Chain A
Amino acid sequence: MTQIEIQDLTFTYPAGGAPALDRVSLSVEQGEFVTLCGLSGCGKSTLLRLMKPGLFPQGKRSGRVLFSGGELTREPDRDTAARIGFVMQDPDSQTVTDKVWHELAFSCESVGMPQGEIRRRVAEMAGYFGLEELFRRDTETLSGGQKQLLCLASAAALHPELLLLDEPTSQLDPIAAQGFIDAVRRLNRDFGVTVIAAEHRLEELLPISDRVVVMDGGAVLADCPPDMLAERLPAGHPMERALTAAQRVFRLAGGTGKSPVSVREGRSDPLCREYLAHHPEVCGNVRSSPARDGEPLISVSGLYAGWRGSAPEVLTGLSLKLYGGEVYALIGGNGSGKSTLLKAITGILKPLGGRVKLRRGLKTSYLPQNPCMLFTRESVGEEAPAEYLARFGLSGLADRDPLDLSGGERQRLALAKLLSGKPDVLLLDEPTKGMDAAAKREFATMLRELAAEGISTLLVTHDTGLAEECADICALLFDGEIVNEAAPAEMFSGNYFYTTPMSRLARGIIS
């Protein structure tokens, strides 16, 4: 049975220009798990919203969207509100109430369910999603991953038939993201909920999807099972970089037809094994790193830092040195103290012990996890000088409000603003959060260019791919200390979990 059918859908935003969706047709069967992907701005968010009454964007629309055979209306009613669940990107702004239990009950209250029924559903959902421990907590004390899970549970409490996910894991660290994806997969498997998920994280999603839809410029570029995507994606398309490691190797090896998708499939695929054995370079750039000697720009020794009182993030005796012209990437789990370290170096947080020494006259610039914190002006043009805007490809956006920019554009604007202050060192906290594969690639290239100009970077990230691509030296932070510091190639071939999917694929095959 067809769950949702999109016929010849065209959509143009009021600002005009090219249509955001251009004659899109798509049909999804009941119980299917569909991954929707494409670069930022390809129209996947617009498409998802046009499937959810109440979230329709303003603009001109033609074509039809049929849900279980009936046409969807712009305004939501009790029925579609319950039957179509929607989870968005930002865990903070999606959470509405102050208590976990209230957030769980929110959707049930909205459709006017009686108390007794809400009590039962809330209990069931808390149990199913493992939220019992958190049930009476304040929502503010939850991590991003827990908040996203809560949003999913709140939508699931209405027993939806269709779940629409708009980049729900883009703000999460890899472990939390995996937890969320697992929960979605369970809903799909246990209850036959149809899932359409827009995501950049294909490595985790494709192996569990029934189908993948790639969009480009508002049109459907490919619509096929995941194992056919390697063949269907045109050569040189920017989405190439977003493919799973196994698919990338399969393409490099010139394979045709069905490809392996997951790391497991890739490791047992003869073509991939053969290729990897002869091309060890796919696993990492071997960069000639600058010599690490002379006077360090930043030297941290025996640093103790954290939030006094209720402190989950604490550094206990951390030491590191940053030298001129290098990119230093710090990886590690949530709460390992990565952000705390940057805050201690900038002076936002006073160290509880140890020393942070900056070379005399050193100018540092700090990019917080939320780049919006740097914006103080009404328009992009006022935030940074024109030549810096041009360098980051933002010239066309000079009249826009910084808060109206997309996630990737915000990061670029923040960097433009920081660089216009001519710093010696950039301190970046999770700079590629929410960026698509192409933007990440560009970002990595830019950090290398800056390093060549002599601007060093200390980078805190979950993204092992980024670290591998741009860092001269990587460090793994655990339990308040640096447990390992090495060049990326060495680090990622040695690490088992904190490594790139490509290294996991090639482990033991490349000797």
Chain B
Amino acid sequence: MHPAVCFLYLLAVIGVTAFAGDPVTVLISLTGAALLSVLSGGAGAGAYVGIAAAAALANFLFVHNGETVLFFVGNTAFTLEALAYGGLIGAVLAAVCLWGSCAVRFVTSDKYIWLFGRILPAAGLVLSCAVRFIPMFVRRTREFIAVQENSAPSRGTISGYLRAFSASVGYSAEQAMDSALSMRARGYGTSRRSSYSLYRFTLWTAAALALVVLLGGTCAALAAVGAGEFYFYPALSQLRFRPVDTALYCGFGALCLLPSAVILRENIRLKRSRK
């Protein structure tokens, strides 16, 4: 998928999730994120449940507003409202984290580089170099440590590790000078850089982009005019299903399920073509 679509989509989904204050929207977002995470082979949702529970508990323990008192400890009231609000905050956190983990899987380094390359070609290049360099440096340092542990008498000591690390840094610096020469040899710095990307802006990209803008924009507008309003304090308000609320929930539901639908459709197509 074109990076522009990816970034805009994430912005819309995470934005609406974070600013919506009602349980239905958050639940929809959480469902969509969880579904996408499962479809794309992600796991480890347990951690996010933990985050949600911790937030709920913290709010319950430290916030004492609300009318419906569950119990007293001394003079302190522990209320249902605080528990519910904590739960919502926890769910928002979990949803945002889950979307984030999906983003890591789908928005690969070349997509970031596209984004930065648009704005500042040099920044895109730096990013691309960093993405290559960091894992390489880690691997190289490990190898330095292994080799030097094997040959040096200072086996396993901190100073041994430090020496191996500094040797690896020195060697990397040496290599970087060579890289700089290689860049110069290929015309780096001779003119204003242009930026190339694998992604082409096609009619499909435009359509997908339009859909995301439409859905996201509608949701944001509906939320702004008060759709899906919900109060926790002083007492929990009722969930309402006026036309504006329903529109918000349906629209946001469609937005959240969009990527999962695309993946499912591809899976089905793949299965058919294999038969």
Q: Give the docked Cα–Cα distance between A346 and B151 (Å).
A: 9
Is A81 touching B167 in the complex (CB atoms < 8 A)?
no
CB distance from B114 to the nearest CB of A (A): 10
State the majority secondary structure of interface residues on B: helix
Contact at A93–B179, with CB atoms within 8 Å? yes
Q: Does A72 contact B (CB under 8 A)?
A: no
CA distance A426 to B40 in the complex (A): 49
Contact: A93 with B175, CB < 8 Å? Answer: yes
Give chain A residues whose Cβ lies under 8 Å from the Cβ of B128: 96-99, 102
* Interchain CB contact under 8 A, B194 and A113: yes
Chain A residue with minimal CB distance to B113? A102
Q: Chain A CB within 10 Å — which of B135, B146, B175, B196 has the most?
A: B196
- Please state if B175 and A110 are interface contacts (CB–CB under 8 Å): no
A78 and B186: CB pair below 8 A?
no
User: Which of A150-158, A326-334, A445-453 sits within the interface?
Assistant: A150-158
Is A78 a contact of B191 with CB atoms below 8 Å? yes
- CA gap between A458 and B50 in the complex, in Å: 55
On whether A376 and B148 interact (CB within 8 A), knowing A93-B175, A97-B129, A112-B192, the answer reads: yes
In angstroms, Cα B151 to Cα A366, docked, is 7
Interface size on B, residues (CB 8 A): 48
Q: Are B150 and A78 in contact (CB under 8 A)?
A: no
Q: B133 — nearest CB in chain A belongs to which residue? A: A98
Which residues of B are found within 8 Å of A71, using beta-carbon distances?
none
CB of B184 within 8 A of CB of A55, answer: yes
Q: Is A140 an interface residue (CB 8 A)?
A: yes
Question: Shortest CB–CB separation between residue A181 and chain B, in angstroms?
Answer: 20
B263 within 8 A of A: no
At the interface, yes or no: B233 with Cβ under 8 Å from chain A?
no
Residue-wise interface mask of B (162-196) relative to A, using a CB-CB cutoff of 8 A (1 in contact, 0 not): 01101100110011101101111111111111111
Q: Does A440 contact B (CB under 8 A)?
A: no
Task: Report the Cα distance A97→B198, complex, angstroms.
Answer: 14
Is B136 interfacial (CB-CB < 8 Å)?
A: yes
Q: How far is the CB of A407 from chain B (nearest CB, A)?
A: 13
8 Å CB interface, A393-421 against B: 403, 418, 421
* B196 surroundings in chain A (CB, below 8 A): 101-102, 105, 108-109, 115, 118-119, 122
A85 and B186 CA atoms in complex are apart in Å by 7
Stretch of A219-227, A291-299, A367-375, A467-475 that contacts chain B:
A367-375
B190 touches A88 (CB 8 A): no
B148 A374 Cβ-Cβ under 8 A: yes
Query: What residues of A have a CB within 8 angstroms of the CB of B104 in the complex?
Result: none
Q: Are A99 and B110 neighbours in the complex by a CB distance under 8 Å?
A: yes
Write the B129-145 contact mask toward A (1 if CB under 8 angstroms, else 0).
10110011000000110
* Chain A, Cβ-Cβ closest to B152: A376
Is B186 within 8 A of A107, CB to CB? yes
Q: Does chain B have a CB within 8 A of A490?
A: no
Partner of B190, one of A52, A77, A114, A151: A77
Residue A90 CB within 8 A of the other chain = yes
Assess whether B113 is in contact with A418, with CB atoms less than 8 Å apart: no
A362 sits at the interface (CB 8 A): no
Given known A55-B181, A88-B181, A348-B146, contact A375–B190 (CB-CB < 8 A): no
**Cα distance A264–B71 when bound, in Å?**
97
Q: Is the CB of A346 within 8 A of B185?
A: no
**Residues of the B chain whose Cβ atoms lie less than 8 Å from the Cβ of A115:** 194-197
Find A376's partner among B113, B132, B167, B181 (CB 8 Å cutoff): B167
Bound complex: CA A62 to CA B198 (Å): 46
Given A86-B185, A96-B182, A110-B187, answer yes or no on A118-B163 (Cβ-Cβ < 8 Å): no
B109 at the interface (CB under 8 A from A): yes
Contact B152–A140 (Cβ < 8 Å):
no
A421 in contact with B151 (CB, 8 Å) = yes
Closest-by-CB residue of B relative to A92 is B175
How long is the Cα–Cα vector from A113 to B170 in the complex, in angstroms?
A: 35
Question: A107 to nearest B CB, angstroms?
Answer: 4
Q: Which residues of A contact B188 (CB under 8 A)?
A: 106, 110
B121 at the interface (CB under 8 A from A): yes
Using CB atoms, name the residue of chain A closest to B170.
A403
Assembled-state Cα–Cα distance A421/B148 (Å): 13
From A81, A94, A108, A138, contact of B182 by CB (8 A): A94
Determine if B69 is an interface residue (Cβ-Cβ < 8 Å): no
Chain B residue numbers with a CB within 8 Å of A94 are: 178-179, 182
Report chain A residues within 8 Å CB of B191. Answer: 78, 110-112
For B239, the chain A residues whose CB sits under 8 A away are none
**Interface residue B207 (Cβ < 8 Å from any Cβ of A):** no
* A70 proximal to B (CB < 8 A): no
Decide: A110 near B179, CB < 8 A? Known: A99-B128, A101-B198, A348-B150.
Answer: no
Assess whether A95 is interfacial by the CB under 8 Å rule: yes
Which residues 75-109 in B have Cβ within 8 Å of A in the complex? 109
With both beta carbons as reference points, the residue of chain B lying nearest to A157 in the complex is identified as B186
Contact A373 B187 (CB under 8 A): no
A316 CB–B CB distance under 8 Å:
no
Contact call A98/B143, Cβ cutoff below 8 A: no
B125 touches A (CB below 8 Å): yes
Q: Which residue of A lies closest to B147 (CB)?
A: A373
Is residue A236 within 8 Å, beta carbon to beta carbon, of the partner chain?
no
How distant is B241 from chain A, measured CB to nearest CB, in Å?
47
Given A94-B179, A111-B187, A118-B194, 5 more contacts at CB 8 Å? A81-B187, A87-B185, A140-B135, A366-B150, A374-B147
- List residues of B whose CB falls within 8 A of some A CB: 109-110, 113, 121, 125, 128-129, 131-132, 135-136, 143-144, 146-148, 150-152, 163-164, 166-167, 170-171, 174-176, 178-179, 181-198
5 of the cross-chain contacts (CB-CB < 8 Å) are A88-B181, A98-B128, A118-B196, A158-B186, A348-B147
A residues at B contact (CB < 8 Å): 52, 54-55, 76-78, 81-82, 85-88, 90, 92-99, 101-102, 105-115, 118-119, 122, 136, 138-140, 151, 154-155, 158, 346-348, 365-366, 368, 372-376, 403, 418, 421
Q: 7 smallest A-B Cβ distances: which pairs?
A: A81-B187, A93-B178, A98-B132, A110-B187, A107-B186, A105-B196, A86-B185
